[in-house]
Chain A
Amino acid sequence: MRPFTYERAAGVGEAVKRAAETPGARFIAGGTNLLDLMKLHIETPTHLIDVGRLPLSQIEPTAEGGLRIGAMASNSQVAGEETVKRRYPVLARAILAGGSQQLRNKASVGGNLLQRTRCAYFYDTTKPCNKRRPGSGCGALEGLNRNSAILGQSTACIATHPSDMAVALAALNAVVETALPDGTAGRLPVLDLHRLPGDTPHIETALAPGELITAVVLPPPPEGGQVYRKARDRASYAGGLASVAVVGGRIALGAVAHKPWRAEKAEAALAAGAAPAEAMAAELAEARDNGRNGFKIALTARLGAAALAEASGSTP
């Protein structure tokens, strides 16, 4: 790791203020993704602000009948919480599909949302990557892109967002609450948190410099079944090749785009009476094959159709 200084934040206000005024500063909570990347010199912060002990780990009901999950709650804490298991099983299932128990015990909700891509070219510092080194090119475009994005790519980046949890949150219409360095609070739908790559794949979120995620708010769950399905190379402890979260009539896809991908075309087709397979075909009509990832189009179509069938109670 490159040298850095470290401080433990005394409060939310102080943390965001310090982050905004300190060049090269990064927040650290669980650290499971950031420290991995720091060891590889992919992330090189010069100052770490530890927000892991801030009093932001409560999980509590909201006045609207939903649930507010503090950003520092561990992934394990969320997946094991009674209300989550009972009313938001898609969220518990998505979290449990990611990482190992050791990682879930340490990883925070906020950190899970902000984890970086697992694209091999992002990880290999000898290779070009517009996300790691803007302007250097994309090694994956014509390289080993078996697990690259099939939706929403650009010619600058075909990386995917690796989170399982975020896919469930996208289908649940979750809202992210933040604290800003000017002392104000922010709110944005989780669907607006992450960006598509465009020409600036190194800018991954809509967060301002120093802005800290403080909570994720779930609205009351809609009627209908909740399902999370994930396809991957190993039965456990592996990133997804494709995943799908179904919540009532809402569908979100994971591991197929630079952000959790809300399948609005499929949702519209379903609402108009389409069968699950037809709805998924509508969503994936513009999916792109970069050479080795074409199989993910068929995989996502089948996974989505199976999840929709399971959520509606018919045979998956």
Chain B
Amino acid sequence: MQATITVNGEPRTLDLDPRTTLLDLLRERLGLTGTKKGCDHGQCGACTVLVNGVRINSCLSLAVMHDGDEVTTIEGLGTPERLHPVQKAFLEHDAFQCGYCTPGQICSAAALLKELEAGWPSQETADLTAPLAVTDDELRERMSGNICRCSAYPQIIAAIKDVLGETA
């Protein structure tokens, strides 16, 4: 069936098998292989992309459900010439080893910054009604949907803190 999805700023009208996940559409049909398939069950976060600015697991969503949506993948977040601040910070802080989870980590972190701005709480937020205090625990909790088997977690937190303008 037909759906029009704007991917990284470009509207794409597609004829889709309803079974196609957003993840498989990106990788197999559109050639955007930056987004990774890890567990394919929403447990690892490697497939994280932004839909209308909000991070989701693209493996647990059907492409046909996104007719009219704007999807941003790691390829649309920044370019080698103009890196997104989170991409730049990941490079500077060596926030990866094998790199497989990295696109998901970066998309997740980019969305996290917006969620902090919007005042969305997490389970680590001590006072739900006070302005957010961005602690390491807050950042770890907010990144818990992204698994890194190389365990680059300390550098990932350092990179995010750097973007937030704090000393890592």
Contact = CB atoms under 8 A, between A and B. Distances in A.
Contacts, number: 97
Given A85-B121, A102-B108, A105-B55, A4 B45 contact: no
Contact of A6 (B18, B21, B54, B129): B18
A4 B145 contact: no
Given A28-B65, A39-B41, A236 B141 contact: yes
Nearest to B143: A101
Contact of A80 (B108, B120, B142, B146): B120
A102 B45 contact: yes
B121 A101 contact: no
A314 B88 CA distance: 48
Nearest to A29: B65
Contact of A102 (B119, B121, B140, B145): B145
Given A5-B18, A32-B42, A35-B21, A79 B120 contact: yes
Contacts of A79: 120-121
A39 B40 contact: yes
A86 B129 contact: yes
Nearest to A85: B128
A301 interface: no
Contacts of B120: 76, 79-80
Contacts of B141: 236
Nearest to A47: B18
A196 B55 CA distance: 35
Contacts of B145: 99-103, 237
**Which label, helix, strand, loop or mixed, suits the secondary structure of the B interface?**
loop
Interface string B31-59: 00000000011100100100000111100
Interface string B105-117: 0001001100100
Interface residues of A, number: 34
B2 to A, nearest CB: 11
Nearest to B119: A80
Contact of B123 (A32, A85, A97): A97
Contacts of B41: 36, 39
A92 interface: yes
A99 B57 CA distance: 12
Interface in A229-281: 236-237
A93 B126 CA distance: 10
A96 B123 contact: yes
A221 interface: no
B74 to A, nearest CB: 15
A1 B61 CA distance: 13
B148 to A, nearest CB: 13
A1 B128 CA distance: 40
B82 interface: no
A237 B122 CA distance: 12
Interface in B127-168: 128-129, 140-142, 144-146
B128 A102 contact: no
B54 A100 contact: no
5 contacts: A36-B41, A85-B128, A92-B128, A100-B146, A105-B56
